Amino acid sequence: MEPKTKRHLAILGSTGSIGTQALEVVKSHPEKFEIEVLTAQNNADLLIAQAIEFQPNCVVIANETLYEKVKLALANQPIKVYTGNAAIADVVQMTDIDMVLTAMVGYSGLLPTIKAIEAGKTIALANKETLVVAGELITKLAYEKGINILPVDSEHSAIFQCLVGEFHNPIEKIILTASGGPFRGKKRDELLHVTKAQALKHPNWEMGAKITIDSASLMNKGLEVIEAKWLFALKPEQIEVIVHPQSIVHSLVQFKDGSMKAQMGLPDMKLPIQYAIGFPNRLTSDFERFNFLNYPHLTFEKPDTETFRNLDLAYEALKAGGNKACILNAANEIAVDAFLKDKIKFLDIAKINEKTMNACSFVSKPKLEDYQNTDKEARKVAEEFVNKT
């Protein structure tokens, strides 16, 4: 057998914001990467184009009604075509895959991530909801299997980069930076009638719709607090959030001696993606470089948790443990979806999250099945609150 010099990747959610940027990174380093698997939920046209360009071993289109279309378009290609969510959980276990980049949206990332870890694949984790929903189960499984979960989320990538070479030095605390999103500085009365278009206009980062709304509501930072707890084995009180509107300092670690390390750069998701899929090596890039003279003022301020309730809800969920964060995540997925469909107002998102957290049954030591049941129950409860709004 020839020695394997390239890293073989499966990209789950290849047509989304992270997926397409990951493929750009792969394209700039053809000598480093080989694509084994691409998967998409609904975007059949882009999946077909990506498959023809990158020639993976197989593709999965999750939406079964689009299977024939993809199958037909790739009929003359040596590429296998599968459909359905179960197929995604199957293909990640293929022998040739070294690393799975999980870039799908929301709860749907959970099962494929578990299957990939069970099959011994390194995870490049862009789907933070997986750790929010079932962080304890996932990290335990990864530990047992001896596999790495490499963060793609820019803040967690920053912390991870600060920790390289420091793995035996205890962390005093970490500080996650938040841009504050498009509504930073606004109070509740100013947010009563903000529109979907306004919420989707993020000042610094180019991202998918769900995470952009989460950024506007500070839920994204809340989810990231929970994600950080599991990735870096921290207590809630060791995780702080500071608003940093320029998004240049991507996060910081403070060690036991009081020394702090930060990772900086222009806000470009391709950098953390490239760091994760290239780890432990830093690959070259022609991304625009940061220039201090363009940013003479880097500023920091306290998050406004009275206006943006979601951040406190995340801490509450983290402290409660069990299935609380799973409930919060499901409620938020429903609420954001309802907001994007103009069924509820912006401030209703946090209200629905809070009410759902209080209404659902608490399980202190959940297993996979409990998480699955919790997710179902919380979605149903949140839907009811949406309909009553």
Token pair listed for 79: 């590429």
Selection from 371, 375, 335, 326 nearest residue 353 by Cα: 335
Nearest distance from C-beta of residue 153 to Mg ion, angstroms: 4
* Count of C-beta atoms within a 10 Å radius of residue 203: 14
Sign of CA dihedral 373, 378, 379, 384: positive
Q: For the chain, count helices (H), then strands (E).
A: 16, 11
Nearest distance from C-beta of residue 229 to Mg ion, angstroms: 15
Quote the CA–CA distance of 221 and 4 in Å, as a whole number.
39
Nearer to Mg ion, 155 or 377 (CB): 155
Q: What single DSSP character describes residue 134?
A: H
Q: Decide if 133 contacts 326 (C-beta within 8 A).
A: yes
Nearer to Mg ion, 93 or 305 (CB): 305
* Number of residues that this document lists for the chain: 389
Q: Which residue is nearest to Mg ion (CB)?
A: 153
Nearest distance from C-beta of residue 99 to Mg ion, angstroms: 20
Quote the CA–CA distance of 361 and 363 in Å, as a whole number.
7
Q: What is the CA radius of gyration of the chain?
A: 20
Nearer to Mg ion, 155 or 375 (CB): 155
Which strands sit side by side in the sheet containing 249-255, from one edge to the other?
Answer: 239-243, 171-178, 249-255, 260-264
Nearer to Mg ion, 263 or 356 (CB): 263
Nearest distance from C-beta of residue 222 to Mg ion, angstroms: 11
When asked if residue 129 is in the footprint of Mg ion (CB under 5 A), the reply is no
Kindly write out the interface string for residues 190-229 of this chain, putting x where it contacts Mg ion by CB under 5 A and - elsewhere: ----------------------------------------
Nearer to Mg ion, 62 or 269 (CB): 269
Selection from 356, 344, 372 nearest residue 317 by Cα: 356
Nearest distance from C-beta of residue 211 to Mg ion, angstroms: 8
Nearer to Mg ion, 230 or 385 (CB): 230
Angle, vertex CA 14, rays to CA 281 and CA 215, nearest 5: 85
Q: Which 143-172 positions form the footprint of Mg ion (CB under 5 A)?
A: 153-155
Nearest distance from C-beta of residue 85 to Mg ion, angstroms: 25
Sign of CA dihedral 195, 14, 103, 80: positive
Nearer to Mg ion, 155 or 370 (CB): 155
Nearer to Mg ion, 18 or 35 (CB): 18
Quote the CA–CA distance of 15 and 63 in Å, as a whole number.
13
The site that binds Mg ion (CB under 5 A) totals a number of residues, namely: 3
Token pair listed for 110: 């959970």
Query: Which stretches of the chain bind Mg ion, using CB under 5 A?
Result: 153-155
